[in-house]
Amino acid sequence: MKELLLSLLPICLYLLLGVITGKVLPRSMSSRLARLITPFVWLLLFAIGYKFGLQLENLQNLTEILGIALAFSLSTTIFSFLGLWLVLPGPKKTEEKTESDLGIMHVIKECSLAFAFVLAGIVLAKLLLLAGTNTQIIPSVDVFLYILLFIIGIDLAIAPLSLKFLQFRTIATPILVILCSLAGGAVTAWLMGMDIRHGLVFSSGFGWFSLSGVLVTARLGEFYGAAALMTDLFRELLSIIVLFFFATRYPVPSIGTAGATAMDTTLPIIKKS
């Protein structure tokens, strides 16, 4: 619990600092700063890919870990999306084309660009490791994340949320995500002949790989910690795909697949979508 609270604290602080800054700065300057959200999304994805590339170098039993991670990330993502889609159906589709609904080619372009930055980060990490040079030259994911949260706070200040968002759908979404994710983990563990408790562990990170990897390693050892980390990293990457392809037509299920990452890493992508 202490680790969870310490992880949430900087997220709240940087968002709050951004909101305060947005209130103080002239609106024109705040608007210009808010336009930096998209570039920093790409930088954040690059940093995630870079960290992923460094993690691959240190993992043992990599094939088994990747298999477990892929199975649980897919099941929790699918169960979350389908559960929300069935229980909380969104508004009926209209024939009007909105500004954000720009067609499949636009979505493919955006998704390809996102994964290009992730891949570029992985490639750079591998090249630096092969060259034996310093791998600390790239700032951590947290640096880009906190800058993004600060900018998002500024954006929220010039476009404040209404209390109308506190409705049944808003409260029910995270509850359903938790239940559907755990159900997906339990079913996957049963199909793979694993201990159901381990399935619940792998499905309860909700994409928060920086926290789940540490907590699971401390309790169950490096193998399970690495599997939990990779599961949540894959889940985060899958949520990016879902958001780019389905957020316009299925906003609630798409946001639900992001899990805990909707608070930080994928928050800019959700806002952009």
Q: Rounded mean pLDDT of the chain?
A: 80
- State mean pLDDT over 211-230: 76
With 60 as the cut, is the pLDDT of residue 258 above it?
A: yes
For the beta carbon of residue 80, count every other beta carbon within 10 angstroms. 31
| pLDDT, tens digit, 9 for 90 and up, residues 133-166 | 888 888 877 788 788 889 888 888 887 666 566 6
Query: Phi, psi (5° rounding) for residue 265?
Result: -60, -50
Pairwise CA distance, residues 141 & 54, whole Å: 12
- The pTM of the whole model exceeds 0.75: no
- State mean pLDDT over 233-261: 85
Pairwise CA distance, residues 187 & 17, whole Å: 42
With 50 as the cut, is the pLDDT of residue 99 above it?
A: no
* Residue 208 three-state SS: coil
Pairwise CA distance, residues 270 & 157, whole Å: 17
132: left (phi over 0), alpha (psi -120 to 50) or beta: left
User: How high is the pLDDT of residue 4?
Assistant: 56
The structure tokens listed for 31 are: 């608007």
User: How high is the pLDDT of residue 71?
Assistant: 95
Pairwise CA distance, residues 79 & 240, whole Å: 16
- State mean pLDDT over 236-262: 84
Q: Do the beta carbons of residue 125 and residue 244 sit within 8 Å?
A: no
| C-alpha separations of 159 from 19, 156, 270 in Å | 10, 5, 15
